Amino acid sequence: MTVSAERPLPLSVAIIARNEEARLPRCLESVSGLAAEIVVLDSGSADATVAVAERFGARVEITDWPGFTVQKNRALVACHQPWVLSLDADEAVSPALADAIRALFAAGDPPRTGYFINRRNRYLGVWLRHAWTPEWRLRLVARDQARWTGGRVHEQLTVTGPTGRLAGDLLHESYDRLDDHLHRTIAYARLGAEDLIARGKPFRAYKLLLSPLGRLMRILLLQQSWRDGWRGVLIAASSMLAAFAKHAFVLEHHLRNTERNRRP
């Protein structure tokens, strides 16, 4: 079936949100008229997130918060269209990406089961050119062939079948304040440590030392984040901190267990 350029595509946009009234309008406006359905899973917002979503014609479902992977799978299941575009509330579809998605559907059903999209990141008010670049994410998928996998953090969308890439970018407003970045860095590091502990991974001293150094070198030198100026240096340093904090939390858990087992 050929899709008219003026008609919404057989596509659901899936978004999970909590207290996103400030960022959600930009996201929803970027897909206005593109998709036949917008689904927002809200996990107990205390602001106007639900009202904002409904103003843009989204179908809102209220849920608890079970973690990123489970919540995004819930959003996938809640979609009714055969194809799903998964977005975060701080992302927007660029005009070039919207054109690429329309072109993909113009001749009928897309030939692959999933499509990677490059995410372009703005950090502390400036678009990055090296750090976190390129950042290909699988986001457009055939609903029945897709699922989210992963632990408490760093969830990943997967599909059964071949994948391709689309032109255009997801425009990501990553962090506009350093304190927000550092706060989330520690929060995600703790979740990562909890995943390691839940899987029974023991503490390894060399990982506490070498993993942060590897992160720093990869971003600062291989990605050449230094070419983004001080912002690139901050990103590399925060990545090093994330790796250190994750293994430090595992060490803390190990020490507490050791002391508990020594008690009479």
Tokens of 210: 């070498």
Mean pLDDT of the chain: 94
Tokens of 221: 């030198």
**pLDDT tens digits for range 204-220:** 999 999 999 999 999 99
Residue 166 near residue 140 (C-beta atoms within 8 A)? yes
Residue 54: the pLDDT is 97
Q: How far apart are the first and last CA of the chain?
A: 73
pLDDT grade for 3, boundaries at 50, 70 and 90: very low
Packing angle between helix 205-217 and helix 230-262, nearest 10 degrees? Answer: 170
Q: Is the pTM of this model over 0.85?
A: yes
Compute the distance between CA of residue 82 and CA of residue 142 in angstroms, rounded to an integer.
6
Residue 18 near residue 45 (C-beta atoms within 8 A)? yes
**pLDDT tens digits for range 192-202:** 999 999 999 89
Compute the distance between CA of residue 39 and CA of residue 70 in angstroms, rounded to an integer.
16
Residues 6+ apart with CB under 8 A from 159: 113, 114, 138, 141, 142, 145, 146
- pLDDT of 29 strictly over 90: yes
Backbone angles phi, psi at 142, to 5 degrees: -70, 120
**pLDDT tens digits for range 244-260:** 999 999 999 999 988 88
Residue 144: the pLDDT is 96
- pLDDT of 40 strictly over 90: yes
* CA dihedral sign, ordered 43, 30, 34, 99: negative
> Is the peptide bond between 202 and the residue preceding it cis, with omega within 30 degrees of 0?
no
Q: How many helices (H) and strands (E) does the chain have?
A: 7, 11
- pLDDT of 1 strictly over 70: no
Could you tell me which residue, 80 or 152, shows the higher pLDDT? Answer: 80
Could you tell me which residue, 211 or 264, shows the higher pLDDT? Answer: 211
Residue 166 near residue 101 (C-beta atoms within 8 A)? yes
Say how many C-beta atoms besides its own lie within 10 A of residue 196's C-beta: 18
Residue 192: the pLDDT is 93
**pLDDT tens digits for range 67-112:** 999 999 999 999 999 999 999 999 999 999 999 999 999 989 999 9
**pLDDT tens digits for range 114-151:** 999 999 999 999 999 999 999 999 999 999 999 999 88
- pLDDT of 4 strictly over 70: no
* pLDDT (mean) for 178-183: 96
Torsion angle defined by CA atoms of residues 214, 216, 219 and 222, in that order, rounded to the nearest 10 degrees: -60
Residue 171 near residue 122 (C-beta atoms within 8 A)? yes
- Domains in the chain, start-ordered, CATH in brackets? 9-175 (3.90.550.10), 178-262 (no CATH)
- pLDDT of 2 strictly over 50: no
- Concatenated DSSP letters for 2-20? PPPTTSPEEEEEEEEESS-
